[in-house]
Structure 1
Amino acid sequence: MFYTLQMEDKNHRFVCIYRGPSHTYKVQRLAEATSYRFRIQACSDAGEGPFSDTYTFSTTKTVPSALKAPRVHQLEGNVCEVTWETIPPMRGDRVNYILQVLVGRESEYKQVFKGEESAFQITGLQGNTDYRFRVCACRRCQDTNQELCGPLSPSSLFTLRRQEQQCLGETSAVETVKGAGIISSDERFAAVVVCVFAGVSILMACLLQYFFMK
């Protein structure tokens, strides 16, 4: 026994897409939200049997593909900016993005943004706390007003860098330089005093010698 599988083409004619002994066949490169008609017949050495009733199969709309892990950049203060890649409209349907964050040791992600933009700033971050961000794309169907969300992206880990420590380090370095400058000035002043004292002593010795010789 072998089987002949036929599919109706654009001209409403049935064409053979498979002929063989298998009971399954995968049809690829179908268009989304489109109806297709199939029929099948069984064949043997005795001849070909009648075709089955026509079966109509409709494909669904395609969901957006998974995005790459978002990128996180620290801004001034306790603020970071999360950015992600975008995808073009899908057959005229707009695409929104959902951003989620997992804070510290929490067990569930929380949604912090939903919209068409490809960036979002988060304020009020805490130091020594891990933040994990992930994003997904959602297709807004115009005809049915249905929202089809794709899989979530891999997460990106972010930890706030403490800028206060950097400022303290810079301040200490400045104070050290200033201290070094003060010490150097004192040393120069002492050297000037010693030179003046030595000059006066030599002058006095010369005057005393002059008077004794007289």
Structure 2
Amino acid sequence: MSGLPFAALVLYLCITTGEFTILVEFSQINVSVGGGALFSVRPSAVISSGSWIFKGKTIAQWIRHTASFHNAYTLRGVLFTSNGSFLLKSVKMSDTGEYRVNMVPASGTQFSAVVTLRVFAKRDDNCTPGSGAIVGIVLGLLGMGLIGGVSGWLIARKTGGALQEDQTHKAGGTRQAQQHLRKINVAGPVTAAGLERMGDRTHLKNMG
């Protein structure tokens, strides 16, 4: 505790009207669901009575050392009549809001102060994946990557084979045409008629 900043230990909001002062420790309280919220206050003089009000409803009140609670707060509320502080146990999300404390000093008029309570949902550790689940997710991603890589390699190989076969077929056709031209050159000068006769013979050969 000694290592905490002094401002965090003693943070008081002073609400002063006339000669009576209410000191409010932590004007805003942050508590998770199920926890306890302490509305710590300290009057500057002796008080004869007081009350805590939430959403227009009196949830706790006291006269000197006798305290009473609203039915909904009988089991959850603790009132410290010596200084008017109020403890709310097992807080719920619906408890979020402003709480007003009214105090009547032994001599003087009534004064009030406000404390805001903010209730947060409790973190569910079951929603956090464990180490086994994380390992499973990683292995699944690696497996998907491996399958995708193999599929891409097979597609590329198939496409490359088809392309190579098509190029081989074209090269064979080119060589066959060159051989026909060499035959024509040996037979004699290349003429249009000669090429036409050669084409007819080739066509007849293919038909046979």
Q: Is TM-score (shorter-chain normalized) higher than 0.5?
A: no
* Structure label with greater radius of gyration: 2
Which structure has more relative contact order (CA 8 Å, sep 6+)? It is 2
TM-score by length of 2: 0.37
TM-score by length of 1: 0.36
